[in-house]
Amino acid sequence: MDSRPDFAPAWAGLIAVATSAALWWLANDLQPAWWAAWLAPLPLLVYALHARARSAALATFLAFAIGGGVQWHYLHDVVRLPLTVTLSAIFLPALLMLLVVLPFRALARRGRVLAATFFAPAAATGLAWLSAVTSPHGTFGHIAYSQMDALPAIQVAALLGAWGIAFLVWLLPAALAVLIGANAPARRRAASTALAFALLACALGYGARRLHDDGPAQSVRVGLVSIGASKEAQADLDKPEGERMLARYVEEIDRLAAAGAQVVLAPESALLLRSHAIPALQELSTRRGVRILIGAEDHSQAPVKRNAALVFEPGRATPVAYAKRHLIPGFEDRYTPGDARVMLDGTPRTGVAICKDLDFTATGLAYARSDTQLLLVPAWDFDEDAWLHGRMAVLRGVEGGFAMARVARNGLLTLSDDRGRVLAQASSVGRTEPATLLGELPLHSTRTLYARIGDAFGWLCLIAAAGMAASLLLGRKRA
């Protein structure tokens, strides 16, 4: 039974809410501070151990709702989601945090320090997995993306996916909170925290080793080009402005090919077309011996419209077409989603995805299980989310063990390897002149554990947390 008195004063709650909210705000920004995520839950968890359950619940909701409010401008003003959707995107995760903090509080106050230490990360990870599999936006908003600048930490994704990163991020504050304030002898608290720290050390040690264990690699020279946010973007090829846009892309692609590019990518929805036959691109591909990918609004099978990527190969009569599978609700309702993934012929083993497809772990898993070495990704971002959305895609490469070339309108042009290192980067944000990038991309034949087990760690965390929470109810009934 819990015999600890409730003594936390109101000012302690205000400090805990303000501190955790500020850190959570920094961790969930569009270009987050990676260190803030590791510290954000700590003040709140410590306060919860010394407060009444109702006070702890209120503090939890306020801290995570205020911290999550950093997304308001992006969701409401940039993406222009309806007010109700924006509010639910901020308040629902804050409510779900009650299912993390309150059982953690109960376990720690009852002296079950080991269970409390591992309950918080398991519950936060499991609920994040459940949210991702039920949301039309996949993993968008997952705390793992806050760690994309912490390269040793994100290597855990090769083992357990984004779920493993989230578990580590929550394990540190839970272990420290137990050490500081759990209702148990100091020796037991120290032993539980030491176990958590040992696990963290092993995970980060693995990450550091993986970053220095590349092995020999082949490479491919990749060019990226985006002709930005001009009014001619997504120009209709049957109209003069479309012809001008195509001519500009042909000129830039030819220049990159002349500089040695073996593959050249142009962004999502660069053109609007009614036939896959684009003689200028096919002739350029064959003449230069270069693989060319360009995004297009595809009306070739009217009245069906698709968001497509066309890949022109040297000497091939028709391009390979891939249709985007995950469409943005509201923005892309006019499109019919694709139903198949695409692997291109030849070596290196190369796949194709489009922008939002990589918000979903299933996309990366499918290509990882096809032994993909390189993923080509045309995209279209919203200026302000250029860093975050680009890095979300990069994490799929760490999970699946493949390099990635991603080119975004109103975003970043990036080349990243299978360890999540961004090797070259340029920006198309706010540009009317072409943004280009040319770089050497090392390729490996990496096989990751995550490619084999998929999202198992996410749902296993949910089951484990549910079991620990259920044990609290059983213990109360026996008492």
Whether the CA torsion 318, 324, 325, 330 is positive or negative: it is negative
Residue 401 confidence (pLDDT) above 50: yes
What φ, ψ does residue 115 adopt, rounded to 5°? -65, -40
Contact 165, 157 (CB under 8 A): yes
Whether the CA torsion 59, 60, 62, 63 is positive or negative: it is positive
Three-state secondary-structure class, residue 310: strand
What is the CA angle 371-375-377, rounded to 5?
155
Residue 72 confidence (pLDDT) above 70: yes
- Of 48, 142, 149, which is closest to residue 99 (Cα–Cα)? 48
Q: Which residues pair with 426 in a beta bridge?
A: 413
Q: How far is CA 477 from CA 99, 469, 470, in A?
A: 20, 13, 11
Alpha helices in 182-239 (DSSP H): 186-211
* CA–CA gap between residue 320 and residue 313 (Å, rounded): 8
Average pLDDT, the chain: 94
- DSSP-derived secondary structure letter, 333: T
Residue 281 confidence (pLDDT) above 50: yes
Residue 79's pLDDT is: 85
What's at 124, amino acid-wise? A
* CA–CA gap between residue 262 and residue 266 (Å, rounded): 14
- DSSP-derived secondary structure letter, 71: G
* Model confidence pTM above 0.75: yes
For residue 363, give every residue at least 6 positions away whose Cβ sits within 8 Å of its Cβ, in sequence order, or none: 325, 326, 341, 353, 357, 396
* CA–CA gap between residue 8 and residue 16 (Å, rounded): 11
% the chain with pLDDT above 90:
88
Residue 214's pLDDT is: 73
Query: pLDDT band for position 473 (50/70/90)?
Result: confident
Query: pLDDT band for position 81 (50/70/90)?
Result: confident
Higher pLDDT, 329 or 421: 421
Give the distance, in angstroms, between the CA of residue 354 and the centroid of all CA atoms in the same chain: 14
Query: pLDDT band for position 228 (50/70/90)?
Result: low
Q: Taking residues 377-403, what's their average pLDDT?
A: 96
